[in-house]
Structure 1
Amino acid sequence: MGDFWVFGYGSLIWRPGFAHVDARRARLFGYRRALCIYSFVHRGTPERPGLVLGLDRGGSCVGVAFRVQGSLRGEVIAYLRAREQVTGVYLERTLPVRLETGETVEAVAYIADRAHEQYAGALDEARAAVIVKGAAGQSGPNETYVASTVDHLGTLGIRDHWLERVARLVAPS
């Protein structure tokens, strides 16, 4: 079985957690990066949800495509499902992404399930910041998640103006 690709758009960019042989900047069309998922585990609790990123319909998203050896497929998919599917809020899909080289590859991606109770929908920056500020879960403070994502996107030369505005609103004064 040949190598396969995984598309990261949030914390997978800065903490993939799986072995890969290549990482390339890539664009996924038809979905955008959005703080649209209430986090009940990693960055919040059911009593005090935080917000994490999802791929929501519309636009496009620049992220990172990771090439994984085919021999690791079972192991990596099991890891991703355990990480991303804790509450079943994401739908696992294989979607075409365009690498920075212009080549198009099929990549595993996790998109927001709009029918799930944790789907927050479209939020403005101020509302998103209120939810993020002070939320924390098993993986730490929600503000740290947002700041780390913005920092790592910036390092890659990827701008997400909406997320950057939320990060400024939740940053310590």
Structure 2
Amino acid sequence: MRHFWVFGYGSLMWRPGFAYARCETALLYGAHRSLCVYSYVHRGTPERPGLVLGLDRGGTCKGLAFAVEPENWQATLAYLRKREQATMVYKEATRTVRLASGESVSALSYLVDRDHEQYAGKLDLQEQLALVQASHGQSGPNTDYVMNTQAHLKETGTHDPALSWLTRQLQSGS
């Protein structure tokens, strides 16, 4: 049976929100995980933006690939577009990912749009910390987003130095 695939690198890893038949650790080439998106909806507001992850160009990103059965694909796609495209800060794209099993598959991925007003670019860690500590959106506190993502990265054996540092600062109350 042919599956459709979705690549998750942030909150999709710990809260996919759709039915899937299989999930595997996967590596995407040509983009990296970065807290480079101002969140105006899920983890912040336009007045007090939070920070969420985007796939920014260059490098590699370890995440999870979810296999979706054909009969669930249209509902999954509609759900993902509503969730990920609330402000159109991401470009929907198909990218090849390499699964832990060695197989390469084409997966739906959400890449940050560098021309969008919500693209934060590369902020230093102190700026990231200040934004994360001060923001809250429809999906809850920005601190929860960062700490949940870090915990799930750790489960997959993925080390993200920036998220590790931010999590330590948030846990210590800095």
- Cα distance in 2, alignment partners of residues 128 and 48 from structure 1: 13
Post-superposition Cα deviations, 1:67-119, rounded to whole Å, max 9, x if no partner, equal 00011111100000000000000000000000011111000000100000000
1:144 equivalent in structure 2? 144
Structure 2 residue matching 1:171: 3-state secondary structure: helix
C-alpha contact 1:143 1:171 (8 A) present in aligned 2: no
Give 1:47-58 correspondences, 5 Å limit.
47-58=47-58
How much has 1:171 moved relative to structure 2?
2.7
Structure 2 residue matching 1:159: 3-state secondary structure: coil
- Cα distance in 1, alignment partners of residues 114 and 49 from structure 2: 17
Residue 165 of structure 1 pairs with residue 148 of structure 2: no
Give 1:112-127 correspondences, 5 Å limit.
112-127=112-127
Post-superposition Cα deviations, 1:7-37, rounded to whole Å, max 9, x if no partner, equal 0000000000000000000000010000000
Structure 2 residue matching 1:166: 3-state secondary structure: helix
- Cα distance in 1, alignment partners of residues 156 and 88 from structure 2: 29
Give 1:1-173 correspondences, 5 Å limit.
2-173=2-173
Q: What TM-score, normalized by structure 2, do the two folds share?
A: 0.96
- Cα distance in 2, alignment partners of residues 30 and 163 from structure 1: 20
**Structure 1 gap ranges (5+):** none
Q: Which stretches of structure 1, 4 residues or longer, exceed 3 Å deviation after superposition?
A: none
**Structure 2 gap ranges (5+):** none
How much has 1:2 moved relative to structure 2?
3.1
Aligned residues: 173
- Cα distance in 1, alignment partners of residues 162 and 3 from structure 2: 34
Post-superposition Cα deviations, 1:17-69, rounded to whole Å, max 9, x if no partner, equal 00000000000001000000000000000000000000001110000000000
How much has 1:172 moved relative to structure 2?
4.5
How much has 1:150 moved relative to structure 2?
0.3
C-alpha contact 1:6 1:65 (8 A) present in aligned 2: yes
C-alpha contact 1:51 1:132 (8 A) present in aligned 2: yes
Tell me the percent identity. 54
State the superposition RMSD in angstroms. Answer: 1.1
Q: What TM-score, normalized by structure 1, do the two folds share?
A: 0.97
